[in-house]
Amino acid sequence: MSSPHNPKQNHLLAALPAVDLAHVMAHLELVALPLGKMLYEPGGQLQHAYFPTTAIVSLHYVMASGAASESAGVGNEGIVGTSLFLGGTTTPSSAVVQTAGHAYRMDRHLLMQEFNRAGLMQRLLLRYTQALLTQMAQTAACNRHHTVEQQLCRWLLLTLDRTPTNELTMTQELIANMLGVRREGITEAAGNLQRTGFISYRRGHITVLDRLGLEKNTCECYAVVKKELGRLLFDVR
């Protein structure tokens, strides 16, 4: 039987030609990422980069008070650890597993070797970083200018894009922490989406019933992020 895990489940790795992927695969280690696992903490030394396949990792900025909100999410479209090839080995943000699953891990020294070969891998990583910066900027703008319900729709759609199912295991409290809003705001927004038939919610579980409805109900931020990611990661050869 074939293995259920494959590096090509990560879109960055899948974009590499067979020869380049074979070279990179020699440096990859499959790891399980349980819910809540901290991949790196603010100011901590980054030792590995992660290419998620089925896991989703949330990048947070943590305030001195301990309050935090998500600046971006990383799933099977990208890599966790961009600081490593951008010239730094630490970051003021944290990375925590939002959805349990698997990823392929690469030692930071080996990642730099691949990056410094200056081939397609380098171009893919830099283009993905541009897409990640777009996501961060759009998240900041969205959190400032759009309603909690629109933010929730955006967040649900981005999460759906990274999972093979329309069912999400996620508490309202966790979503509130991701978006940096009060839990009561998420409760109200989720209730509105459930009444319109877009989602079904029971404690800790969200099922998306009408994705098109969510897309019509969200702000422009979701489309901007998705379009930029597609533009930058396709046709880079």
Instruction: Give the chain's domains with CATH numbers.
Output: 7-132 (2.60.120.10), 147-218 (1.10.10.10)
Q: What is the mean pLDDT of residues 211-224?
A: 94
**pLDDT number for residue 237:** 53
| Distance in angstroms (rounded) separating the CA atoms of residues 191 and 91 | 37
pLDDT tier at 160, thresholds 50, 70, 90 = very high
pLDDT above 90 as % of the chain: 66
Average pLDDT for the chain: 90
| Distance in angstroms (rounded) separating the CA atoms of residues 33 and 29 | 12
Q: At what angle do helices 148-161 and 172-179 cross, to 10 degrees?
A: 100
Question: Would the pTM of this model clear 0.75, i.e. be above it?
Answer: yes
pLDDT above 70 as % of the chain: 97
Among 146, 167, 163, 166, CA closest to 222: 146
